[in-house]
A and B are shown apart, each in its own frame.
Chain A
Amino acid sequence: MSTQSILGLFQQPELAADAMDGLKEAGFELGTFDVLTGTPYPEGAFGEYVPQHRLFRFPAFGAIIGLTLSIFLTAVTQLAYPMVTGGKPILSIFAMLIIMYEMTMLSGVIATVIGIVFESRLPNMKPGVYDTRITEGWIGVVVTFDDDSKVAEAQNVLNKAGALEIKTA
């Protein structure tokens, strides 16, 4: 048994939404079929499975790491070379705050970018069945299954919804 996927291509968003409904009615599990578009549509436009994500955790973790590193860098470098200037304290808190702020933000941004890539499930260099017309405005409904016996059923649903073309991989 191998993982197989088929892609139905539509020109009208309404027909793609009908195909998604048809797949749900035919008993295909959520997460086994998806919609591919060349432009963002409003969430739920195709009745698609709305993915959950944990993106908001990434900047928080990143910021904590950045803050910790920046405290270490600013405090340790000053304490390691404790030169008193003008009778002022060795640890210059206000100057440290600026470096700490920048490093915290930088680390937060880098972690967010990692989070976006990770939560988008990228990189994915073997993305499976695809059609370049999707970025020309066509809408693809892709169905993935382990059980080959369901291929005909999925094709039937896509055809019934008005797919202009069906590709398999």
Chain B
Amino acid sequence: MQQRRELDQSYTNRKLLNGQLDTPKWWAPTVTGLGILVVIGLIVIATMINKGLGVTGLGRPVFWGLFITTFVFWVGISHAGIMISAILRLTQAEWRRPVTRAAELLTVFSLLTALVFPLIHAGRPWRIAYWITPYDISRGIYPNIRSPLIMDPVAISTYLTGSTLFLYIALLPDLGNLRDRTTGWQNAMYTVLSLGWRGNPRQWKMQTVGGILLSALMLPIFVSVHSIVSWDFAIAPAVEGWHSTIFAPYFVIGAVHSGVSAVVTMMALMRWLWKWDDFIRPEHFDALARLLIVVATGWLAFTFLELIFAVYGQDAPELALREMQMFQWPWNLLFIIFLLTGYFIPVPMWLFKRVRTNIALMFWTSILVNVGMWLERFLIIVPGLARRTPFVYTWEAYRPSAVEWTIFIWSFCWVTFLMLLFSRFFPLVPLFEQKESQVFTEDVTIGRAKVPAIVREAD
């Protein structure tokens, strides 16, 4: 890996706080444009709630379509945060430093977005209160905890609350930094948010110990969340292709694959937009790509295991479903695109260091992965429902309506909008982590040699 040049702390402050102290010129028009798209999306959602789900392409027998696919997709993206932040923090991987905040942020905003989809998918979102909150004591009606549709909101709320708190705790030193660099109402805001942070040894120790402790607590939650999302499907015995025993680990590893790829996309954008070449360097993309090769290959193994289990059982409906998924139009085209974009194009490319350290190529290959991963969820959810079965008396091919596609696009605008809004007030790269890295990389003398204090891999 490359050695970086030494950066003094005022330079680090100036560069990494440029989003808050010296807002880039592109920021306001971009946020305004995205804000308009977000409002249009919200109007479409409101119209759909008003008119009913008839404006979607959903109908017998496909009642779970684009909304649920996009829900699973965003929950998957959210797995980037804890995968990157917690695991790399626990293993003290040096290259985690510029990545952690962006990853945690992506977790929080993608989870917020994911939650919208089951709500609007229900048609009458206010009625969700009947089945997820134990509120109606007088009538003795409580949530049915035996249903995965209850376990799911519980798990996602836990993950969202934990991730938000995790993000806030790690922000405290940087909020103190912003307090020191601002005046007026901004100073008042950062003073309150930083809780009076000073940077004494006790506070730094709590950051370190607390960060490790929170990472250790968040990891089991991270594994449980996508496992429970998978059980939304796996516990349903009536749909072929859903009731697989490997769904929990399969979903978790798929989520990590798409989540880490989304972090790569975001890192490239951050480097380009805020000109953080000194902080987000090719070595970080190299490390993320190496991680992705392992994760993607593990995920591919699960993909083939799922197919092998289906074929080995020789269960006629299951075989018919797989035949439809892989060989019938248009599912076969989607299946090929899914395999190519999810694995067979990006991973062989990442085997070459020239690709791993080429940020433009990493950006485009990471987007390809998420195209594939979205298709994977679509191919898991929809064909199982769309296949002709003996007990269904009516079939209609599922074709997502313009309303569904608009809401799908809205979700991307919404996440980007929230990210950019966050970037106006809070740093996207943790400053104290960068500075700590500088402190720890000062040379130490061993005999007559001066070597970096942090052990790094040679080129």
Contacts and interface: CB of A to CB of B under 8 A. Distances in A.
Contacts of B157: 106
A113 B154 contact: no
B202 A121 contact: yes
B196 interface: yes
Interface in A22-68: 34-43, 46, 48-51, 53, 55-56, 59
Contacts of B165: 109-110, 113
Contacts of B158: 102-103, 105-106, 109
B435 A38 contact: yes
Contacts, number: 179
Interface string A98-117: 11011101101110110111
B145 to A, nearest CB: 5
Interface stretch (B210-218, B283-291, B395-403, B413-421): B210-218
Contacts of A113: 165, 168-169, 210, 214
Contact of A73 (B9, B134, B438): B134
Interface stretch (B135-143, B298-306, B372-380): B135-143
Interface string B133-168: 010000011110111001100110110011001101
Contacts of B151: 95, 98-99, 102
B205 interface: yes
Contacts of B210: 55, 112-113, 115-116, 119
B201 A49 contact: yes
A101 B224 contact: yes
B432 A112 contact: no
A145 B435 CA distance: 31
A74 B145 contact: yes
Nearest to A117: B195
**Among A48, A50, A134, which residue has the most Cβ atoms of chain B within 10 A?**
A134
B443 interface: no
Nearest to B177: A135
Given A38-B199, A96-B145, A122-B203, A102 B439 contact: no
B13 interface: yes
A3 interface: no
Contacts of B440: 42
B161 A109 contact: yes
A19 B200 CA distance: 16
A92 interface: yes
Given A77-B134, A92-B146, A99-B154, A40 B208 contact: yes
Interface string A134-146: 1111000000000
Interface in B164-219: 165-166, 168-169, 172-173, 176-177, 180-181, 191, 195-210, 213-214, 217-218
B154 A102 contact: yes
A4 interface: no
Nearest to A115: B210
A77 B145 contact: yes
A59 B217 contact: yes
B221 interface: yes
Contact of A51 (B145, B162, B205): B205
Given A105-B158, A105-B220, A78 B195 contact: no
A109 to B, nearest CB: 4
B224 A125 contact: no
B9 A39 contact: yes
B207 A40 contact: yes
B375 to A, nearest CB: 29
B245 to A, nearest CB: 15
5 residue pairs, one from A and one from B, having the closest CB atoms: A137-B9, A39-B435, A77-B142, A124-B196, A132-B180
Given A39-B9, A39-B199, A119-B210, 6 more contacts: A40-B439, A51-B202, A51-B205, A106-B158, A116-B214, A132-B180
11 contacts: A38-B432, A38-B435, A40-B436, A48-B201, A77-B143, A102-B221, A112-B213, A120-B172, A122-B203, A132-B180, A135-B181
